[in-house]
Structure 1
């Protein structure tokens, strides 16, 4: 169970974060959320699809790591076999929280860093320290603060991106048919992709607006990334010794 707390140098002065990869640290995921500004880096290694959260009925762009739950084909023991790890995974065990305060008699809100004290990456004996011995943030914590800000802004734009895709009817459900080297067949359901036929019908004004927002490039990067399915399938065959 998660145990979120507002990070501070008094209560958490001796906390460290384990940064190595490993299933025991929560890395054995088969997909993770991503966002348009990250698509260029993500698409170099992972297929990008869209997933509908059944709890909230909202869509998110996701980077795909495998074909089933707890099946990360890029994770080999404590080694991640790709040159880029999406920010939504790298930010663990930190989260962005909101803190209300008064200034000049007015209610205001600011973003603050929370930490999940129950996360397996949190330690008091090993890993990267969060605070310096004499006070102040460590370089690692400052880096994570920048990462969280990038992630926050990126996910906000990601929601705008997905809303545009929905408005333009550019999302279509896809069933992924997988055939392994031993002839066994498997299906992946519940994912969505870009409707390329619908995309081709958009008028110039709509395409120009998508381009102005940076979303047209994201659409094409998402489409192109799906060629990475061949690499994912090869990794699955190799993992199974096929």
Structure 2
């Protein structure tokens, strides 16, 4: 159960948050939901795949492991990758969107007061003595802004990828050094071959939408599958 409330620099002047990662906070998952606003950073570390969700439609994920509840970039307390997906960076914070009948002051930062990281003595303050945001809260606000922008961009971006026929269902087959085999299916990938074979009209549509470079980054991210296999091999008992 969560109890998110809007942050207030008076009510929460002395509130502290001890930011930490953990499997209980979702860091141990083998696929993490990501957004177009972070694809450039994500593609340097993780393969970017797409999956169809019954209620949410097409979603992008960073593949972080081969087994269920396995994140090969997380050692139990911290991420070992250079980039951490935005949803896992946000900690106990979320975006508050005004509902019908409420003043539209734009998105606001909310904090879950029931989260065990909130209100601890060793945590970091969110507000300065004068009421301004601390560097930590400023970082959280940037992360939430990336998520908010990504939520709005995802549907049209993925729809254009689909319309241009860039996504294809594919299977990842992996054999480890101990001969253990994995078959990862149920995902779609952005095909480099289809992207390179796109006609000029399709290239122009991607260019006008400012997505041509992003599409190439997503296709290039699949090269990270080999690095994922290396991590899995290194973690396996010999």
- TM-score tier (shorter): 0.7 to 0.9
Equivalent position of 2:60 in the other structure = 61
**Structure 2 length-normalised TM:** 0.88
- Structure 1, unmatched stretches of 5+, are none
Matches of 1:57 and 1:75, distance apart in 2: 27
Matches of 1:29 and 1:121, distance apart in 2: 19
CA positional deviation for 1:137? 2.5
CA positional deviation for 1:126? 2.1
CA positional deviation for 1:91? 1.3
Higher strand share: 1
- Structure 2, unmatched stretches of 5+, are none
> Are 1:239 and 2:235 matched, yes or no?
yes
> Are 1:189 and 2:176 matched, yes or no?
no
Equivalent position of 1:122 in the other structure = 118
Matches of 1:18 and 1:191, distance apart in 2: 36
Matches of 1:102 and 1:49, distance apart in 2: 38
Equivalent position of 2:84 in the other structure = 85
> Are 1:166 and 2:166 matched, yes or no?
no
**Structure 1 length-normalised TM:** 0.86
How has the CA–CA distance of structure 1 residues 52 and 146 changed in structure 2, closer, same or farther, with 3 Å as cutoff?
same
8 Å CA contact 1:16, 1:126 repeated in 2 = yes
Equivalent position of 1:74 in the other structure = 73
CA positional deviation for 1:166? 2.1
Equivalent position of 1:34 in the other structure = 34
> Are 1:153 and 2:152 matched, yes or no?
no
Aligned length: 238
RMSD: 2.4
Secondary structure, counterpart of 1:66 in structure 2: coil
8 Å CA contact 1:34, 1:155 repeated in 2 = no
Secondary structure, counterpart of 2:97 in structure 1: strand
